[in-house]
Structure 1
Amino acid sequence: MPVPVLRRYAALVREGAGNEEERLALMREHEARVADRIGRLTESLDLIRFKAAVYEDLVDHGSAAAHHCHGPSTGAEEARSSVPRREVLAE
C-alpha cells in the first residue's frame, strides 16, 4: 500500500467507527493494485518458465539443437503482454 494511503487508512482507524465505507474503499483499491501486480508477475513467471524449457531442450539435445531452437522474439513477447518489457525485467 502506498505510504500516503496507509497514513490515511491509519488515521481512519484511529478515528474509530463511522468511516468503514472509506476504509473499505481504500482496501478495495489496494486489492486491485495487488491483483494487477500478481497478474504482471504471473506473466513474467510464464516467460521465465518458457525460456527455461528452451534451455532444458538445448541441454537435453546437445548444442546441435541450438541452431533449430528459437523462442519467441522480443517483439512477440511484448505484443502478447500488456506490460512493457522493461517493467517485467525490473520486477
Structure 2
Amino acid sequence: MPVPVLRRYAALVREGAGNEEERLALMREHEARVTGRIGRLTESLDLIRFKAAVYEDIVDQGSAAAHDCHGPSTAAEGEERSPERRREVLAE
C-alpha cells in the first residue's frame, strides 16, 4: 500500500467507527493494485519458464543454435508447448 494511502487508512482507524465504507474503498483499491502486480509478475514468470524450456531443448539436443528467444505468441494460457513448437516460435 502506498505510504499516503496507508497514512489515510491509519487515520481512519484511529478515528474509530463510522468510516468503514472509506476503509473498505481503500482496501479494494489496494487489492486491485496487488492483483495487477500479480498479473504482471505471472506474465513475466510465464515468459521465463518458456525461455528456460527453449534452452533446455537446445541443451538436450547439444545445439547452440539459439539466435533469438521471444515469448510464446499463440499458446493458450497454461498450454504446454512441445519442443518442436518452441523451436518454431524461436524461428519466427
TM-score by shorter chain over 0.5: yes
Instruction: Identify the residue that residue 39 of structure 2 maps to in structure 1.
Output: 39
Query: Offset at 1:29?
Result: 0.1
Q: Following TM superposition, where does structure 1 have runs of at least 4 consecutive aligned residues deviating by more than 3 angstroms?
A: none
Q: Identify, as 1 or 2, the structure richer in helix.
A: 1
Greater relative contact order (CA < 8 Å, ≥ 6 in sequence): 1
Q: Give the TM-score, by structure 2 length.
A: 0.72
SS of residue paired to 1:18: coil
Instruction: Identify the residue that residue 16 of structure 1 maps to in structure 2.
Output: 16
Q: Give the TM-score, by structure 1 length.
A: 0.72
What CA RMSD, in Å, does the superposition of the two structures yield over aligned residues?
A: 1.9
Instruction: Identify the residue that residue 60 of structure 2 maps to in structure 1.
Output: 60
Instruction: For structure 1, list consecutive stretches of 5 or more residues without a partner in the other structure.
Output: 77-91
Alpha-carbon distance in structure 1 between the residues aligned to 2:28 and 2:42: 21
* Among 48, 57, 69, the residue aligned to 1:71: 69
Alpha-carbon distance in structure 1 between the residues aligned to 2:68 and 2:61: 14
Query: Offset at 1:63?
Result: 1.7
Give aligned pairs, total: 72
